[in-house]
Amino acid sequence: MRKKWEYKDVDSEKVKEIREKFNVSNLLATVLVNRDITDEKEIEVFLNPTRNDFHDPYLMPDMKIAVERIIKAINNQEKVIIYGDYDVDGITSITVLKKFLKTCGLDAGYYIPNRLNEGYGLNKVAIDKIKEDGYTLIITVDCGISGIEEIEYANSLGIETIVTDHHEPMETLPPALAVVDLKRKDNTTYPFNSLAGCGVVFKLTQAIGMELKMDEKEYLKYLDIVCVGTISDIVPLVDENRVIAKLGLKLVEVTKNPGLRALLKAAGYKQINSNTISFGIAPRINACGRMGYEEEALKLFLTENIVDAENITEKLNKYNRDRQEIEKNIFDEAIKMIEKDDNASNSIVLGSYNWHHGVIGIVSSKITEMYYKPSILVCFDGEEGKGSGRSIQGFDLHEALVNMSKHLEKYGGHEMAVGLSLHKKNFNRFKNDFEKYVTEKDISDLVPILEIDKQIGMKEIEIDTVKELDLLEPFGESNRRPVFVYKNLKIDSIRALSDGKHLKMTLKDGNSLINAIGFNMGSFSKEYMIGDKVDVAGTLEINSFNGRDFVQINMKDIMKSF
């Protein structure tokens, strides 16, 4: 799929000003300007945040009510249960709150719904069990904002609820004692509203710590776990999320959590950065929830025994391998179904009895990326179907489902990702109407956009300059790794790696050679040959080989020079 290259309109005077004031390279100053980080204080916080850069937690809605109720529960030694989610954000949220409350003298219980049997969020069967076990207070983490009926039911049983969440609320807030969610429409005081669920929990622990006049290290020491949840949940890594992630990564490097240590060792990354979390840690934790073993990930973070941690990590590795195998099988089958239909449609809607509900979302994401079309995959169990969908930039998938609601039992999500359930008898009608809807929206002009920070030359890709770009870490949503374009390079060597999957090239600018790698770009090896002149777009990285460091372009796209 060809991409559209969009160049940033760089303010060269502002770049010069920042370069001189902060004594940084032209490349780094350009990226800061492109990110609209130009105020002196803002630049300082972005590059070197400190614990003084956290916002006041008491500016959050209902925070004071939540804190007072939890302190009352601590003082009275009530039975309190933390109700979370099965993904990384949910698991880390439970971990942080449970560990912190224990330091306050309260040993809270926890409940994680099973993804395959119960689905996401609060449910009445779980609440019945919570009542039966004698709990008087539920604290939700990373969920609860949409649990209006369930919280009403808990109220009827004499159980109070505190909601901590970061998802969009419905028109009516749940009837909980406190609803700590920055997406509330009446939140006008807190300066940032995009914390992950574990970020909201961190602010709760900060507020409790302040109220109890605890040393701040008692809540700051969990920033390694909060950082893992924040980076994994793909929230924008700006403002307070960046402070959490940047400071948290420093703690991850020296983490005292046996489970996280064991997981880092298993992931095998040489450097601890956002990539380590996103591609080494998060998939292993998420695999537990996807495969129906959500408690294993939580046990890993809660254990204080390194041997137990290593044993649980082995299980996580196995679940992840199983998930990868299932994912590959579903993907291969889905591709065959698409090719059988000649891929002539504007959308992709597929269904099968053989697919795993916990994995189809990942496959849908890969298919959308591959074909650049909205995709929905549905797995059937008897006459019931559960589906996951992913979209492309510019097409609102959730809005599409609103228009398809007559065919659906349930649905939810947002513009780019959705979940749904439907009866098998409605599947074909849904598929046909969805295709009509997408066709009427005319998405044929939508193409992937590659945002380019700057056109560069050989003098700008020295090792020290490229290493300096690490100051922009952690990378993630709203703070992508900068992409640069190098034009008019001559192909000196070109070959495909890993059975044609990846692309490896050496490129020449005059007498200088530049190494380039393109993951999942192996097909380009058939389009270009030695001697061709090309423009390359990609990120810059340091590669080490035989004790030597050299700059390498990690290609995102390539085209012939004009």
Place of tokens 């007559």: 406
Average pLDDT on 402-428 reads 90
- SS3 call for 542: strand
- Which among 48, 79, 96, 330 has a CA at the least distance from the CA of 223? 96
Position 248 pLDDT exceeds 90:
yes
CB atoms within 10 A of CB 184: 19
Q: What does the longest C-alpha to C-alpha distance in the chain come to?
A: 78
pLDDT per position as a tens digit, 48-91: 999 999 999 999 999 999 999 999 999 999 999 999 998 999 99
Q: Would you place residue 171 in the very low, low, confident or very high pLDDT band (cuts 50, 70, 90)?
A: confident
CATH of domain 4-48+449-560: 2.40.50.460
Position 414 pLDDT exceeds 80:
no
pLDDT per position as a tens digit, 178-219: 999 999 999 999 999 999 999 999 999 999 999 999 999 999
Confidence (pTM): 0.89
pLDDT at 417: 86
CA–CA dist 57, 53 (Å, integer): 12
| Buried-state track 402-435, b at ≥16 Cβ within 10 A, e below 16 | eebeebbeebebeebbbbbbbeeebbeebbebbb
Please spell the DSSP secondary structure of 67-118, one letter per residue.
HHHHHHHHHHT--EEEE--SSHHHHHHHHHHHHHHHHTT---EEE---TTTT
Q: Using CB atoms within 10 A of its CB, is residue 172 exposed (0-12), middle (13-18) or buried (19+)?
A: exposed
pLDDT at 442: 83
Query: Is the separation of the CB atoms in 304 and 323 below 8 Å?
Result: no
To which H or E segment does residue 253 belong?
A: helix 239-253
pLDDT at 20: 94
Q: How many CA atoms lie within 13 A of 18 on its CB side?
A: 28
Among positive and negative, which fits the CA dihedral 266, 270, 271, 273?
A: negative
Q: Would you place residue 92 in the very low, low, confident or very high pLDDT band (cuts 50, 70, 90)?
A: very high
CB atoms within 10 A of CB 356: 18
Average per-residue pLDDT for the chain? 93
CA–CA dist 222, 95 (Å, integer): 9
pLDDT per position as a tens digit, 10-40: 899 999 999 999 999 999 999 999 999 999 9
Alpha carbon separation from 166 to 169, 180, 201, 252, 377 (Å, rounded): 9, 8, 10, 24, 26
pLDDT per position as a tens digit, 483-495: 999 999 999 999 9
- Which among 318, 247, 289 has a CA at the least distance from the CA of 45? 247
Position 443 pLDDT exceeds 70:
yes
Domain locations along the chain: 4-48+449-560, 53-254, 256-330, 347-441
pLDDT at 546: 78
Name the amino acid, one letter, at 51: R
Q: Which two tokens stand for residue 4?
A: 């559209």
**Percent of all residues in the chain with a pLDDT value above 90, rounded to a whole number:** 82
Please spell the DSSP secondary structure of 441-464, one letter per residue.
H--TT---EEEE-EEE-GGG--HH
Query: Is the separation of the CB atoms in 136 and 80 below 8 Å?
Result: yes
pLDDT per position as a tens digit, 271-298: 899 999 999 999 999 999 888 888 999 9
Which fold would CATH assign to domain 53-254? inorganic pyrophosphatase (n-terminal core) (3.90.1640)
CA–CA dist 135, 109 (Å, integer): 9
Domain 347-441 has CATH 3.20.20.210: no
CA–CA dist 486, 503 (Å, integer): 17
Name the amino acid, one letter, at 92: T
- Which among 250, 200, 191, 194 has a CA at the least distance from the CA of 223? 250
pLDDT at 1: 63
CA–CA dist 222, 103 (Å, integer): 12
Q: Would you place residue 419 in the very low, low, confident or very high pLDDT band (cuts 50, 70, 90)?
A: confident
Average pLDDT on 456-465 reads 89
